[in-house]
Structure 1
Amino acid sequence: MSNSSDKVIITCAVTGSAHVPSMSEYLPLTPQDIKAQALEAAEAGAAILHLHARNPEDGRPTPAPEVFQQFVPAIAAETDAVINISTGGSTRMTLDERLAYARVVKPEMCSLNMGSMNFSLHPIAAKMSSWRFDWEKKYVEDMEDLIFRNTFRDIKNILTEFRDYGTRFEFECYDVGHLYSLAYFVDIGLIKPPFFIQSVLGILGGIGSDPENLSVMRSTADRLFGRQNYQFSVLGAGRHQMSLVTMGAILGGNVRVGLEDSVYLSRGVKAKTNAEQVRKIRRILEDLSFSIATPAEARQILGLKGMDNVSI
């Protein structure tokens, strides 16, 4: 499953749940904005759209299916990009809340964090001079003392349930240990090739953004799974986004960009849209003689069931 054809899948994570509105005025919050930015990112070359929902009144992350329904069907009607529904949600949501919309639509792909962790952006709070909404400061500060929960039993139950739906996963691995957790589920038969590993670098609580760590994640995955059995992808948080994802492609992987992962386009310059980041990484990759995978090619590479089998 290595990228021998030089086809690189671009995933765009459109809004996420970690960044708060005060970090960027361009972060899409309303269903209309999420839809518009997702479609523009797909047009720019993103084959996969990784989606979260937010309360349109104040930008707070929400798991509510009725909010997802305000933009997901509209996106599906206007693009053939793969729609990837997050099961990560946020540390404030229960597991059932995080799974609620994915259970409704049974998508081609969901994201799945491969372990519990203290995912935190709390140092950013001290750098913020003002807040757009009154919930944001406490939301960021409280990350210091909150655990994102995905136990082995949680993961087993998700894999078992969604296997019946034919949904495949973006396995988000925030550390080397998450790769070994993934290997455990491969060993007991709950995960089968081809599987899609999203290597996440630069989040406090996970593996750091050092380039050497990316090589460690890639070589560890090769030892555990055999390169022919999985697709590798790279997510670089914050200012490390473009350099790390470019390195990931050079190592034979795929890439993920988007305002969920970084609100910047370059040093000191905020990205005004998700599509700006997609266009930038596409240009870099094409200048390096890589070809960008279409949604149809991404479906074939990842063994997805196709939109005809989704309940959107």
Structure 2
Amino acid sequence: MSKIIITCAVTGSIHTPSMSPHLPITPEQIIEQSIGAAEAGAAILHLHARDPDDGHPSAKPEHFNAFLPQIKQSCNAVLNITTGGSATMTLEDRLAAPKLAEPEMCSLNMGTMNFALYPAADRITDWEFDWEKPFLENSDDLVFKNTPRDMAHVLQEMGEKRGARFEFECYDVSHLYMLRHFVDRGLINGPLFIQFVFGVLGGIGPDTENLTHMKLIADKLFGEDYAFSVLAAGRHQIPLITMSAILGGHVRVGLEDSLMISRGVLAKDNAEQVLKIRRIVEELGRTVASPDDVREILDLKGADRTGI
């Protein structure tokens, strides 16, 4: 397809405030950067919440509610709320805000995995908040729990009961087979939107060969009944998502995935990354999809049927 979906993951739960002064952590910052990303061309906004006092990842509905209504009122972007939250959160905590918001889309992680962030701690010398260093260092013993029972629960709560479509986050080849398993069980109906995730320590590595292999296996498992997007961590972001665009896939940028705009240069905001990949994909001959294009492509229920 010629139309390409740009997703922007605005803040996430991986990076900490000491890594970049441009990482949005307050509701006002998340609102401003989300609207900016949408105006730059992001049709989907992938959203996490933070405690505004110290930037700690949060699952509290009140922290989501501090920015979701304003973003919805200010732009037409599809709001995609995480159900992954942080690997340190319980599943019910992770679902608390999405269940209330009843969004058009939410994410769903397709497997239990190690989720190691601790190498990042070695690159920081000045810490803004006390929680950051132990949060990163203790990830050497962190398991991101997403069992088949967990996944079935999210599919029921968010899909069957609330009509959300999913960004199926696949960090490894095995996650594609787990997705096929749930399709075969009749718990997932198309169209499928699969996010290939590269570069998280514990998941598949950020190699171009892995991207072509993931696409090969997805083609084998799902035929033409799916669309794929790519996100890549850190310095691998732009090279791998550009490759996705060349292969006919979609792209994801955002300060959740990378804090940089170029080698050694911090991105000043999310919109800067959106504009960079927009220029690249348009030069490749792709047409950037609008939010309403996304609603048609992914068969979303519409913003008027959410709880936001």
Residue type of the alignment partner of 1:32: E
Task: Identify the residue that residue 267 of structure 1 maps to in structure 2.
Answer: 263
Q: Secondary structure at the match of 1:218?
A: helix
2:240 maps to 1:244: yes
1:108 offset after TM fit, Å? 0.4
8 Å CA contact 2:229–2:252 kept in 1: the answer is: yes
Task: Identify the residue that residue 205 of structure 1 maps to in structure 2.
Answer: 202
Q: What does residue range 80-91 of structure 1 map to in structure 2 within 5 Å?
A: 80-91=76-87
2:114 maps to 1:113: no
Identity %: 60
For residues 278 and 126 of structure 1, the distance between their equivalents in structure 2, rounded to whole angstroms, comes to: 29
Residue type of the alignment partner of 1:126: D
Match of 1:36 among 32, 53, 71: 32
Q: Secondary structure at the match of 1:199?
A: strand
For residues 139 and 297 of structure 2, the distance between their equivalents in structure 1, rounded to whole angstroms, comes to: 36
Per-residue CA distance 1:135-167 (angstroms, 9 max, x = gap): 100000011101111100000111122222110
Residue type of the alignment partner of 1:249: A
- Structure 1 runs, 4 residues or longer, greater than 3 Å off: none
For residues 251 and 143 of structure 1, the distance between their equivalents in structure 2, rounded to whole angstroms, comes to: 34
Residue type of the alignment partner of 1:166: G
2:227 maps to 1:231: yes
2:133 maps to 1:137: yes
Higher mean alpha-carbon deviation, 178-187 vs 119-128, is at: 119-128
Task: Identify the residue that residue 282 of structure 2 maps to in structure 1.
Answer: 286
Task: Identify the residue that residue 49 of structure 1 maps to in structure 2.
Answer: 45
For residues 48 and 157 of structure 2, the distance between their equivalents in structure 1, rounded to whole angstroms, comes to: 20
For residues 236 and 34 of structure 1, the distance between their equivalents in structure 2, rounded to whole angstroms, comes to: 21
2:165 maps to 1:168: yes
Q: Secondary structure at the match of 2:228?
A: strand
8 Å CA contact 2:99–2:157 kept in 1: the answer is: no
Per-residue CA distance 1:265-296 (angstroms, 9 max, x = gap): 01001001000000000000111111000000
Structure 2 residue ranges without an equivalent (≥5): none
Q: Secondary structure at the match of 2:285?
A: coil
For residues 157 and 128 of structure 2, the distance between their equivalents in structure 1, rounded to whole angstroms, comes to: 39
For residues 117 and 258 of structure 2, the distance between their equivalents in structure 1, rounded to whole angstroms, comes to: 12
Q: Secondary structure at the match of 1:284?
A: helix
Residue type of the alignment partner of 1:277: Q
For residues 268 and 157 of structure 2, the distance between their equivalents in structure 1, rounded to whole angstroms, comes to: 38
8 Å CA contact 2:43–2:77 kept in 1: the answer is: yes
**TM-score where L is the length of structure 1:** 0.98
Q: Secondary structure at the match of 1:170?
A: strand
1:192 offset after TM fit, Å? 1.0
**TM-score where L is the length of structure 2:** 0.99
For residues 215 and 261 of structure 2, the distance between their equivalents in structure 1, rounded to whole angstroms, comes to: 26
1:120 offset after TM fit, Å? 1.3
For residues 267 and 117 of structure 1, the distance between their equivalents in structure 2, rounded to whole angstroms, comes to: 29
1:129 offset after TM fit, Å? 1.3
Q: Secondary structure at the match of 2:107?
A: strand
8 Å CA contact 2:253–2:273 kept in 1: the answer is: yes
1:262 offset after TM fit, Å? 0.1
May I ask how many residue pairs the two structures share in their alignment? Answer: 307
Per-residue CA distance 1:199-238 (angstroms, 9 max, x = gap): 0011100000010100001110000000x21110000110
1:130 offset after TM fit, Å? 1.4
Structure 1 residue ranges without an equivalent (≥5): none
Residue type of the alignment partner of 2:253: V
For residues 22 and 218 of structure 1, the distance between their equivalents in structure 2, rounded to whole angstroms, comes to: 36
For residues 31 and 126 of structure 1, the distance between their equivalents in structure 2, rounded to whole angstroms, comes to: 29
1:126 offset after TM fit, Å? 1.5
Residue type of the alignment partner of 2:162: Y
2:193 maps to 1:196: yes
1:127 offset after TM fit, Å? 1.9
For residues 101 and 161 of structure 1, the distance between their equivalents in structure 2, rounded to whole angstroms, comes to: 12
Higher mean alpha-carbon deviation, 71-80 vs 161-170, is at: 161-170
Per-residue CA distance 1:83-128 (angstroms, 9 max, x = gap): 0000011122111100001000110000111011111111111121
Q: What does residue range 58-137 of structure 1 map to in structure 2 within 5 Å?
A: 58-137=54-133
